[in-house]
Structure 1
Amino acid sequence: MLDLRSDTVTKPSEKMRKAMYEAEVGDDVYGEDPTVNKLEKLAANILGKEDALFVTSGTQGNQIAGLVHCKPGQEVIMEAQAHIFLYEAAALSAFAGVQIKTLEGDNGAMKLGDVEAAIRGDDIHQPETGLICIENTHNKAGGAVIPLENMEKIYQLSKKLGIPVHLDGARLFNASVASGIPVKEFAKYTYSVQFCLSKGLGAPVGSMIAGSSEFISQARKWRKRLGGGLRQVGVLAAPGIIALEENIKHLEQDHENAKQLAEGLQNIEGITIENKVETNIILLDITKSNTTTEHFVNYLKEQNILAGPFGPNIIRFVTNNSITKKDIDNVLVAVQKIVNR
């Protein structure tokens, strides 16, 4: 079964499994797990931040950032199709007590003028703007890379007004590999960053958040409040170290496979590619195929291929480190058969 539903389906390599078995551990709540400490220092250095913290998931990392940066009753600005808004169960509202203001973006990127206009003034009837969130790469925009210039402009505005910027960089390393820009450059225009170890980087679990030492000190307490204070967690941190030291370079192959798949799909009459494929996500529009996403996905499954419905007429394919070029050819043959039906 070829699984193209997400890059979250990646499984740890044998080297990762061995590292988990051999990991030196201690009580991380006491700050005594040497493997976790090594991972956190590595992540902070890569991002150019003062400190970093291992968290159980990207969603937990994003929520911790919101809880640190915001006060109840404030408002958070983000793009209308942001993962935090669509796929995190209204956690910012539930936990931080804030409301979200969404802006329509261009390929996932918010326009500077729109952000500036959305920032609240000194009005007793309105909430204060407590945080601006950017997502890079942008999931719903098909893995689009948010331009560095766009991030810099929003950051300079936020800095002038004293409003922090948080980067949901779940696939930040995909953005870096696709653009050739070091992750440190993207992170430079943020107050805090979250990225996933468990997507294209191939670790079995976990994410990192990074920022100033003060931010991480507060984040550590919020992680504890959310039940994320773990003990001998070096067994989970060990594959994260391998992910950062060895697996970033493999993302380029994922991107090449995605482009190969997109080019092949473009040649099949009756379907179209909705997004510009920059990284590892392909959004397939089946509107003209005279079937539903449910049926299309089921037909794919009959051909031993898993894909994900991503809207009324959209199916998402996500290449990952378990997919080969030969697999891509098999997917194209299967899709052609389905369309011929």
Structure 2
Amino acid sequence: MRIFWFFFLVLLSIGKAGAVEEPYVNEVKGVEIAAGKFFTVADEKFGNTAAWSSIHHTMAVHNVVSFELNFDNTLSFYNKPFACTINFKIYIYGNPSDTTQITDSTLHSNVSLSIRYDTVSGKAYKGIALYKFKDAHKFGVKIISISSPELNPIPAIFRLKGQVIVEREYTFQNVSSDITRFSFANGNLLKLEWTPSGYPGAETFDLEYTHIDDSSRIAAVLRNNFQTAPNQYSVPADTLEKWFKNNATRINTSAASYLLDVPFPSGFLLFRIRGALVHYADGIRWEGAWNYAARWATQPCSAACPSGIVAISAHEPALNWQYSAVFAEEGKSKKIMSYADALLYSRQTITLN
């Protein structure tokens, strides 16, 4: 007689109201840092009518200009201490209808940042200086001057970088048109992949899966009524909803893929995905409709795609084994497989990840 045990422990974490954080960066460095040099940095959605209309709410726009030593070069500057000061002017582009229009050139018209390098071992030095402001989706930086009493000529060892960091939520859509792709990896892992943009407004994704034993009534129904091709099954969503109820494992992740271990008796593995968002205004979790559509990664579907159902073979059918999984946030988990002899004495234990 073969005996199988399954143990699942879920460590719950409380979600916080949050938003998507999108950084946009541009910089000049080396020989480009000279008086008169100009560059811009912009939020890619700024001025894009279609993308702008998909934004539900912008919580904050952080702007940073940094002057720093550029250690990513082959020039040596470690043999003597020095200080360096850069002066620049910031231009604000505040009209999304005309992203070339400068709407403010006086508020940050004379900014000065200084850094200092020291050769004394263990002594702290200031290798980066920051200037921060806010609410500009696009701004430009024009260098007025750069000077150093100790360096003449000034070597190409500096970097001036601009950043626009936007925190926002997108309009959440309940229904997804995405098709989950699945494939087997390393023989015993089921890889699931989805496209985040196919879940508009979602910040994270709920993945739920369940196992159907090959000897069960549901497995017989699957084979007899819903098989459309070899290892392809199309089942109505309301039927799948009943099969998942009170009998599934769920993880939440911000990633666009997930690897599932398949240490089960022979049968079927069912999975579904939905987008989720913790609404910034009230901290309430918004959840989209479950998306059951899926296909083999190597088999595109032109019309209606099959359901997320995969037939699997039994794991070590001649052995006694026990599988346990402990889950934490973001779908992180520790999974252990133990094997026992005919008297159920433990013979081998393997940590899968």
TM-score (norm 1): 0.21
Which structure dedicates a bigger proportion of its chain to helix?
1
TM-score normalised to the size of structure 2? 0.20
Larger proportion of strand: 2
Task: Give 1 or 2 for the bigger CA radius of gyration.
Answer: 2
